[in-house]
Structure 1
């Protein structure tokens, strides 16, 4: 995989050694991040964004990099996350392959990629690495921490491990623990990668790469990121034109939805490292805020102990990967701890990925919350 780092991306070197929750430590590790806006004199206008599994730190366009980011309609001057008011920091997760240290990075002890020698990764490690960036930027307390999908899990770990570091929290399509359905899907994705002979116990290269396994893993993911309602409305049972079908393959692509999945998967395959995918996927399955609290409390008690002042948990009715009851639980738990916490279920037909596409609903929700801080 050829790594591309956007020109606006900056790097923070983590303290060395950087201890990992499940054992081991990293030496000379770094975190990629980008910023928008300016930190005010009181240093109290900072917002931290924690991402889903695959995004990089380039959430939006900036003067340093005018290319659109993965959350461009949400972040910038006059947008819901208004960089004229807020100093916004987006980090690329520890364990990723988008500039931050992960299994694809070179192990300074050997001069070779870590591969499966990378320490076991927990979302608590991702949270601690993000906190290191926040402190390096001279921020004592965040105005808000925003987490999307996996980032919503990371945000809860962040708030637990660094109590009082944020006044408020927006959790978008996140959860306090992984549910069996989500674990099952991610398990199948990892199995597809590991069963590809080219994966070779993590020892692949550009010439011998687990393309087939990554394609299947991505297809499984994309199917769950959207809803059956959207698949039906978008593609129906429309078949491919004859010139787009391979008549030599009796079981080849026949429907438009199959062609869409194939194209989407092929674009992703060489843009994300398979070992990084395995590590981050597993870290989501392992996450359980009650277990993180490590004192026998249940999820609701663990959420109540986070003690933020204000919170918003947003979910989508058609999300099968992080269903609505998980965002409801987050809001109820934070409210039990004294937070002014609200749950907002949105009727978007676009499933788990709605926060990346349904800006007409998500923009006012996020912008309205931040305007009230």
Structure 2
């Protein structure tokens, strides 16, 4: 498979060799990123955004890419993350297929696609790559570090690995460790991909793409990204207009099924299955507590970040609100100023991507004081 790189993407060459936490290293690796705003002469107005599993670095419109970004409503002049004031960097996670080096990239040692020869990737590797990018701008301390979903994990790893790297932090629907329910869901997603015969131990191409496995994996994900409240309010038990086909007696019958099918089909050909497997697994492995004898609260208390706002959603089942409350409580235990805002959005884990009426004021209010 090939990579899926948005127009206008910029690239940073990582130090070579780039060591990986779980063993091995990368040669000639790169990180895809985009920037908005102007870096101040003092280099003290930078914000770094770390993304969830699937987004690219294209968080907002660029001159070279007028397509709306995945956080378009949050980032730009006069918006919550105000590019008139801040220099904003968003990087695509190491291990992804949106421009950063990952399993879908070429291995310079062989000239072939990495596939399953790619080294095991960790959340810490993602954080270390992002930090190298920030250092390349001559930025010694970020004004704020923002992490969303998997990026919330990456942000905590960033703060752990690089003490004092940011004056403030916004953790959006993140977690200090993976919970059993989330691990179970992601395990099923990976199993769906691996059991598709077309996956073929990672040896697929555009003509033999494991479409069924990716469809099911994506559907499982989307079910957990939203809440039961939203599914009920949005679809109820509304049936499709068409009758059931005799040749497919157990096919799509309800509108919610049709929605999931459409969502999955839009995703499957724009994300590499092997990259999905690697990044999904790295979230399951993450546990900040390993830096404090298994005590996540102690590890959070030891982080050096003066001010933090943790945003969570009361209907989130994938990264439930108690995980955001844990982050804030752990930071406060270390003597830091930290608060958790539990937002009552009906849209579950995906709320930060759609419920801007709640998330925008919460982010803007915090950044106004840094």
TM-score bracket, normalised by the shorter chain, equals over 0.9
Specify the SS of the correspondent of 2:167. Answer: strand
| Runs of 5+ consecutive residues of structure 1 not aligned to the other structure | none
2:262 is matched with 263
- What is the distance in 2 between the residues matched to 1:98 and 1:230? 30
Give 1:246's aligned residue. Answer: 245
Equivalenced residues, count: 370
Match of 2:95?
95
Q: Which residue of 1 aligns with 2:344?
A: 347
Structure 1 counterpart of 2:354: 357
Report how far residue 336 of structure 1 moved: 1.3
CA distance in structure 1 between the aligned counterparts of 2:170 and 2:272, rounded to whole angstroms = 29
Asked if residue 162 in structure 1 is aligned to residue 159 in structure 2, the reply is no
Separation (CA, whole Å) in 2 of partners of 1:210 and 1:64: 32
Match of 2:272 in 1: 273
How many angstroms apart in 1 are the aligned matches of 2:367 and 2:5?
30
Q: Where do residues 41-60 of structure 1 align in structure 2 (5 Å cutoff)?
A: 41-60=41-60
Dislocated runs of 4+, deviation >4 Å = none
| Residue 297 of structure 1: how far off its partner (Å) | 5.2
Task: Say whether residues 1:318 and 2:315 are aligned partners.
Answer: yes
SS across alignment from 1:223:
helix
Contact 1:246 1:253 in 2 (8 A): no
Note if 1:124 corresponds to 2:131: no
Question: Does residue 1:147 correspond to 2:164, yes or no?
Answer: no
Q: Counterpart of 1:133 in 2: which secondary structure?
A: helix
Deviation at 1:363, TM superposition (A): 0.2
Q: Report the Cα offset of residue 2 of structure 1.
A: 4.7
1:247 shift after superposition: 3.8
CA RMSD of aligned residues (A): 1.0
Aligned to 2:286: 287
Deviation (angstroms), 1:129:
0.3
Per-residue CA shift, 1:170-200, capped at 9, x if unaligned? 0000000000000000000000000000000
Corresponding residue for 2:21? Answer: 21
**After the TM superposition, which residues 103-122 of structure 1 pair with which residues of structure 2 at under 5 Å, given as runs?**
103-122=103-122
Residue 329 in 1 paired to residue 326 in 2? yes
**Tell me, what secondary structure is at the counterpart of 2:169?**
strand
1:161 & 1:200 partners in 2: Cα distance? 37
Partner of 1:12 in structure 2? Answer: 12
TM-score by length of 2: 0.99
Q: Distance in 1 between matches of 2:337 and 2:149?
A: 22
How far apart are residue 65 of structure 1 and its match? 2.0
Unaligned runs of 5+ in 2: none
Match for residue 296 of structure 1?
Answer: 293
Is the partner of 2:100 in helix, strand or coil?
coil
Secondary structure at the aligned position of 1:59 is classed as: coil
SS in 2 for 1:147: strand
TM-superposed deviation, 1:337: 1.4
Q: Give the match for residue 187 of structure 1.
A: 187
